[in-house]
Structure 1
Amino acid sequence: MSRWNVLRSLCPNGIDPTQFSQITLQLNNNPHLALRFFNWTQSNSICNHTLSSYSTIIHLFARARLYKHAYRTIRIAVRTSQYDEQHCRFDSPPLNLFHTLVKTYQRCGSSPFVFDLLIKACFESRKLDPSIQIVRMLLSRGISPKVTTLNSLIFRVCKSRGFDAGYAIYREVFQLDEPKSEILKRGSGFKVNPNVHTYNELMLCCYQDALFEKVGEIWNQMVCARNAYSYALMMASLCDEGRVEDAEKLWEEMRNEGIEPDVVSYNTMIGGFCKIGDVGRAEEFYREMTSSGIETTASTYDHLVNGYCNIGDVDSALLVYKDMYRKDLCPGASTLDAMTRLLCDKGRAKEALQLVRKAIGKFGMVPKGNSYEALIKGLCAEGRMEEAFKVQAEMVGKGFQPNSEIYGAFIDGHVREGNEELAGALRKEMLQTQI
């Protein structure tokens, strides 16, 4: 008979949560045995666990750095806490578990990281308000979560409630507006400082919301060493404002600081120069990028193709696009659209159609409505009416309805072929559909 069966025979009616906690505390120096004991009580329904017993084993796991098991048990405890009326003081399950973890913390000789795991569980469950409350209660007790946890909180607040809300949380959790005397009262070493990732998260949120001025404000607030991503975000902000020369100065500063540019940095500068029509300078960055051994991405090629399309250089755009296609890099929908429209504008609609067909076949892309319109107008202009009709049927199948431009292209095409009857019928149809 195994020792587990022996133990079960000694406890025919199971054990209560208090007994479980007492036994677990005796296993503090043998966390793996405690884990097997906990799993045994679960799989055999030996103990009807409460938040208190869950907290004991969670603390033991955290102390032993068995973080995966601690996190999994936290998730279980949060889900089942609604049935533990004795320990449910709050309406929020995570807050109930937090309260119990605090009460049992000293007795179990736990690790502060247990609270980071609880906050992470809140993030995963999309419970933002409880995570904010937990951080505030920890700070009031002189305990700070890890900076990575605080960064995640700031980012989530920014994403769900906007930059201003996220920035307010940033200043609160890092106690930037609190007098130093108040912080010192809680004990030395308590205050956690923001790191480069904190600032990067804030700049990213600003950039995604097109708050370019605020990107610069955060940049100027940085009191730690910047990394390549910091520079990439600031350069991207400047490029989007059309200040590519200022972005290039920042690039030189980055190199002078001994920071090696990464793929994001190169793509940022390539995209910036392409937007202002200086594709030659963008190509210089591209060649430097490849000679440095940095792998190009779909974004690299998207920038270059769109850059050449913007200046009307169809052959160079096509050359870069074909290189992208050979490397199995999927173009963006806007890139495919730009190539399609440029080829059609240059009287190369058949070539544009082949390009679109290959993109659909290889990458499963769905062309934009503008792409279909350009193809139909181009094919009609070249007298390829049957192919134009096939494209129009495909367009309707994708949910795009013909507009007056498309009707006009078909009408003009039929007129050029001398088919006035079909042209007249289309005119009537166009009027009936009120296009």
Structure 2
Amino acid sequence: MSKAALKRILHRSQNPKPDSTHSISLFFTTVPSPPSDPLVTDAVSILTHHRSKSRWSTLRSLTPSGFTPSQFSDITLRLRNNPHLSLRFFLFTRRTSLCSHDVHSCSTLIHILSRSRLKSHARDLLRLALRLASSSSEEEEDRVSKVFRSLIKSYNRCGSAPFVFDLLVKSCLDSKEIDGAVMVMRKLKSRGINLQISTCNALISEVSRRRDASTGYQLYKEVFGLDEAEKVRPNVNTFNLMMVSFYREGETEMVERIWREMEEEVGCFPNVYSFSVLMETYCVRGMMVEAERVWEEMKLHDVVAYNTMIGGLCSNLEVTKAKKLFEEMGSKGVECTSLTYDHLVRGYCKVKDVDSGMVVYMEMKRKGFEAEGLTIEALVEGLCGGKKDRVVEAAEIVKEAVRESEFCPSRKCYELLIKRLCEEGKMDRALGIQAEMVGRGFKPNQETYKAFIDGYGRAGDEETSSLLAVEMAESLKLRAEEEEEC
């Protein structure tokens, strides 16, 4: 090696280049390394120089009494450049009970796996550390706080990266430790350290889902500190998840507010999903003029956007416009989904055009799509509420749906079929439907009895009609007594 090259190497070792992975070190105290332990040195030598077949048996013979958590940490620290070997060593000590691991021994390996971006393994270790913290009786602290403190303590020694705390937050969310995840975020923020945007979004989303949208929104303002010049800024996914949360809770005005905030955020632009959420909000409120304005503003119309607009138009009885959009999808090569057909079938049934609804339904079946339960029941209602002799057609649709897609009719659906079948004198078919209804746990009520009583009466079978009248009276009396006892 030339003298110039050697001089450059010595200069780099004495004046290391700043590394983003150590940007957090200013906030934590460096822990001095302990004196070298001969057992640690021997174990490292065996792990790095022995062949895989012999290293594990040699390790067991070296230390039949096993390793302390501190010794395990020292060994893995010296193996930090070989994270896969460190992980195999950990699994070996667990499998053979050669080490009674604690939060601190896990923390060392978590840092090593994190700095090597072995995310799934690091998260597995974090979940184990959280369990170990909860079973420990050393301190009266929250288990997330214990793991967090341990990671901080070992951070510099392991040459870790801030990314490890993103994994901790996500592991807390996996374990439903919402308060713990928020606590970690706040402690890091107090030190001027920001989580990654994906972690921030996951935290806000989980808080919105498990608490409510308003709590998630308050956390959003806290996380991004919108009154300050923060390093991390919200992105379109941040705003999308908040809009969806408020939409699900019926807070449609807040959806519009979030949209305005997104427009004001520098460098953040709505995507197709954002437009779809806003359109859906307007559709739910019956504000179709506004929904169509949003539709025109969109630069790209994908299947989600089409389905949203078609569903909104059908819900607001504008089926002709919905049909035009459906045809436009075909001309532009946008593939329909089952939801597209569901919207159209229900829309036609809503405007009492069950024939057109049946045409769309048959096309839907030809393409191999399964209709939703609400769509089947809309067809049944439409067929039973229109011309005579279509109740059998409705019953066949239900029969096929039950057989092919495990459709479970509601009580209302059963009762409508029975009533119309009885009105048309098809008593045997009505009895079959009633038997299926009882088999699904729906006991006949007064409406069901009256349909059969009237049906048998019209058919001239007064005897059966009278017997059912007596049975109905006894059944209703028994049910009233049972309710009174309850």
TM-score (norm 1): 0.92
Asked if the contact 1:158–1:164 (Cα under 8 Å) also holds between the matched residues in 2, the reply is yes
Take 2:414 and 2:194, find their aligned partners in 1: how far apart are those partners? 56
SS of 1:343's equivalent in the other structure is helix
Q: Which residue of 1 aligns with 2:423?
A: 381
Matched, 1:196 2:246: no
Percent identity of equivalent pairs:
46
Q: Which residue of 2 aligns with 1:122?
A: 172
Give the counterpart of 1:160 among 210, 221, 226: 210
Take 1:83 and 1:159, find their aligned partners in 2: how far apart are those partners? 28
Take 1:78 and 1:291, find their aligned partners in 2: how far apart are those partners? 55
Take 1:409 and 1:418, find their aligned partners in 2: how far apart are those partners? 14
Residues 181-226 of structure 1, C-alpha deviation per residue, up to 9 Å, x if partnerless?
xx6xxxxxx6311111111001001111111111111111102100
Asked if the contact 1:154–1:169 (Cα under 8 Å) also holds between the matched residues in 2, the reply is yes
Asked if the contact 1:263–1:296 (Cα under 8 Å) also holds between the matched residues in 2, the reply is yes
Asked if the contact 1:60–1:110 (Cα under 8 Å) also holds between the matched residues in 2, the reply is yes
Asked if the contact 1:24–1:57 (Cα under 8 Å) also holds between the matched residues in 2, the reply is yes
Give the counterpart of 2:468 among 410, 422, 426: 426
Matched, 1:50 2:75: no
Q: Which residue of 2 aligns with 1:357?
A: 399
Q: Which residue of 1 aligns with 2:484?
A: none
Give the counterpart of 2:369 among 324, 329, 335: 329
Take 2:91 and 2:83, find their aligned partners in 1: how far apart are those partners? 12
1:340 alignment partner AA: V
Take 1:328 and 1:370, find their aligned partners in 2: how far apart are those partners? 27
Worse-superposed segment, 316-325 or 229-238: 316-325
Give the counterpart of 1:313 among 353, 366, 389: 353
Take 2:295 and 2:66, find their aligned partners in 1: how far apart are those partners? 67
Matched, 1:214 2:220: no
2:330 alignment partner AA: T
Worse-superposed segment, 314-323 or 198-207: 314-323
Take 2:437 and 2:143, find their aligned partners in 1: how far apart are those partners? 51
Take 1:415 and 1:44, find their aligned partners in 2: how far apart are those partners? 80
Give the counterpart of 1:370 among 398, 412, 417: 412
Task: Give how far 1:37 is off.
Answer: 2.3
2:197 alignment partner AA: V
TM-score (norm 2): 0.82
Report matched runs for 1:66-105 at 5 Å. 66-86=118-138, 88=139, 90=141, 92-105=142-155
Q: Which residue of 1 aligns with 2:67?
A: 15
Q: Which residue of 2 aligns with 1:186?
A: none
Matched, 1:396 2:458: no
Q: Which residue of 1 aligns with 2:281?
A: 237
Task: Give how far 1:85 is off.
Answer: 4.4
Task: Give how far 1:83 is off.
Answer: 4.4
Kindly tell me: are residues 83 and 371 of structure 1, through their superposed partners in 2, closer, same or farther at Cα, counting changes over 3 Å? Answer: closer
Take 2:134 and 2:179, find their aligned partners in 1: how far apart are those partners? 18
Worse-superposed segment, 321-330 or 129-138: 321-330
Q: Which residue of 2 aligns with 1:187?
A: none
SS of 2:370's equivalent in the other structure is coil
Q: Which residue of 2 aligns with 1:33?
A: 85
Take 1:227 and 1:150, find their aligned partners in 2: how far apart are those partners? 19
Asked if the contact 1:306–1:317 (Cα under 8 Å) also holds between the matched residues in 2, the reply is yes
Take 1:217 and 1:392, find their aligned partners in 2: how far apart are those partners? 51
Give the counterpart of 1:408 among 446, 450, 463: 450
Take 1:202 and 1:167, find their aligned partners in 2: how far apart are those partners? 7
Residues 142-167 of structure 1, C-alpha deviation per residue, up to 9 Å, x if partnerless?
11211111111111111221111111
- Structure 2 residue runs of 5 or longer lacking an equivalent are 1-52, 478-486
Asked if the contact 1:244–1:273 (Cα under 8 Å) also holds between the matched residues in 2, the reply is yes
Cα RMSD of the aligned pairs, angstroms, is 1.8
Matched, 1:287 2:331: no
SS of 2:207's equivalent in the other structure is helix
Worse-superposed segment, 373-382 or 15-24: 15-24
Matched, 1:251 2:295: yes
- Structure 1 residue runs of 5 or longer lacking an equivalent are 184-189
Task: Give how far 1:382 is off.
Answer: 1.4
Task: Give how far 1:376 is off.
Answer: 0.6
1:393 alignment partner AA: A
Task: Give how far 1:89 is off.
Answer: 5.0
Asked if the contact 1:116–1:146 (Cα under 8 Å) also holds between the matched residues in 2, the reply is yes
Worse-superposed segment, 5-14 or 275-284: 5-14
Worse-superposed segment, 28-37 or 92-101: 28-37
Equivalent pairs counted in the alignment come to: 419
Take 2:140 and 2:467, find their aligned partners in 1: how far apart are those partners? 75
Q: Which residue of 1 aligns with 2:185?
A: 135
Task: Give how far 1:82 is off.
Answer: 3.6
Take 1:291 and 1:126, find their aligned partners in 2: how far apart are those partners? 47
Asked if the contact 1:89–1:96 (Cα under 8 Å) also holds between the matched residues in 2, the reply is no
Take 1:364 and 1:134, find their aligned partners in 2: how far apart are those partners? 46
1:174 alignment partner AA: F
Q: Which residue of 2 aligns with 1:339?
A: 379
Take 2:111 and 2:92, find their aligned partners in 1: how far apart are those partners? 18
